[in-house]
Amino acid sequence: MKLAYVGHPLKNDDKQDCVVLYGSRMWRTVDCRRKFPALCELYPETPSKMPGLTHVQCGGIKDNAERKRCAKQQELYEIYKNSSRIDKCALEDSILIE
């Protein structure tokens, strides 16, 4: 066996330059001349709305700490609302880990 490319699986044969994806979301290299019954695309799930992330109004909050918390939530909401799907996933992961 030899290494195909850094980060890619080992190839058994130089003719195996194509990839198949199984329903289990696992993949492997195959001979590109091989025929398959269907060509399908995998669409990743869209990010769910982050729990507790909503548009908030901070006017009238007198407590400094509460006003800062509210402003931070407003800023995060705006960032999330204007983010791409990939960025939304990253935001969800980073916030849920904290």
- pLDDT tens for residues 19-28? 777 767 677 8
Q: Where are the domains of the chain?
A: 1-42, 44-98
Q: How would residue 3 be classed by pLDDT, with cut points 50, 70 and 90?
A: very low
What pLDDT shows up at residue 65?
93
The arithmetic mean of pLDDT across residues 28-46, rounded, is 70
What pLDDT shows up at residue 63?
93
Residue among 26, 29, 90, 80 at smallest CA distance from 52: 80
CB 17 within 8 A of CB 5: no
With 50 as the cut, is the pLDDT of residue 6 above it?
no
Q: What is the signed CA dihedral for 74, 76, 79, 83, rounded to 10 degrees?
A: -130
For the entire predicted model, the pTM comes to: 0.42
Q: What's the Cα-to-Cα distance from 86 to each of 37, 48, 81, 91, 97, rounded to whole Å?
A: 31, 12, 12, 9, 17
